[in-house]
Amino acid sequence: MFFWGASVGSVEEVSAFVPVIRKHLGDMSLTAVRESVSDNYLNEALGLNNIIRMADPAFTLIPEPFSIIAFWPVEKGNGVIGLNISPLIKHYRHSGTDLRTEIVEFIRVTVKNYDM
């Protein structure tokens, strides 16, 4: 079995879950993660040795043409913004910061300042 192209966050919040995840991922033939945070966590915190780092599969796919008419703006502007907001971001915010407010403000400023 392989665990491929994943991100793995800390499971320490539920201590009973740590040995379950350690065993489950340790039983895999290979665990391939997308970034250093997952790689470091699985190697250092969980002590696993079947971990490799790989490119995000989304960046290795061969592009396929498709029509953008259904969602592209009719009026001229600079384009469309695509956002993927991972739950992992909550670990990197400043304390006291309302993440939802920050994301909404980022979108407002970007749309206004860059004619999106």
Provide the 8-state DSSP code for 32.
E
pLDDT at 39: 94
Type and span of the H or E element at 53: strand 51-53
What's the start-to-end Cα distance of the chain, in Å? 43
Instruction: State pTM to two decimals.
Output: 0.58
Measured at the CA of 18, the angle between CA 31 and CA 58, to 5 degrees, comes to: 30
Residue range 48-107, pLDDT digits in tens:
999 999 998 888 889 899 898 887 777 777 777 888 887 777 777 777 778 888 889 999
- Mean pLDDT over 12-39 rounds to 91
Q: Which residue has the higher pLDDT, 112 or 116?
A: 112
